[in-house]
Structure 1
Amino acid sequence: MVYVIIVVSTLSALLFHFYLYRLIKRWAERDFLRSLCEDDEEKLQFLETEYANVIARRLKRDAFEAHFNQLATDYEQQRTKES
């Protein structure tokens, strides 16, 4: 009986830590997107749409920052051309 309690406790602790890791990772990524927007709601909407696409494609973490920096730069350039 003691072993069952230990196994259940260990598994639930591991699952909880994995859940927290994923949650904090998403918060950090969304905070990064908001920092790129500089209070521009249209740009934030664009980047959040692209974020959903990136999550679906499973882009690797090391390419995430460079990809969104490039998208933000491209968005600004396209916006200045339209003006």
Structure 2
Amino acid sequence: MDYFIIVVTTAAGLYFHWWLFRRIRQWSDRDLALSFAEGDEPKRQYMLEQLARARHEGISRRELPAWLEQAATQYRPGSA
């Protein structure tokens, strides 16, 4: 029974750390995308859409800042 408790708590701890790591990465990616919006609400929505598009296209995290910066330069007011 002792080993069962150790295995369960270890597995739960590892899962929690993995989940927290993933959430922090999502939050930092979202903050990066929103930093290009410069407080403009339509551009903010546009950048969140571009972030979703980048995830769908499989853009790597290393390429994401440059990709989002390029998407931000292509933004035209009223195009969101």
Q: Give the length in aligned residue pairs.
A: 77
| Matching of residues 22-33 of structure 1 within 5 Å | 22-33=22-33
RMSD of aligned residue pairs (Cα, Å): 1.3
Gapped regions of structure 2 (runs ≥ 5)? none
Counterpart of 1:50 in 2: which secondary structure?
helix
Q: Which residue of 2 aligns with 1:61?
A: 61
Larger helix proportion of the pair: 1
Q: How far apart are 1:22 and its partner, in Å?
A: 0.9
- In the superposition, the TM-score normalised over structure 1's length comes to 0.83
1:46-70 Cα shifts (integer Å, max 9, x gaps): 1111111222223211011110011
Match of 1:11 in 2: 11
Task: State percent identity of aligned pairs.
Answer: 38
> SS in structure 2 opposite 1:30?
helix
Work out the CA distance in 2 between the residues paired with 1:4 and 1:57. 42
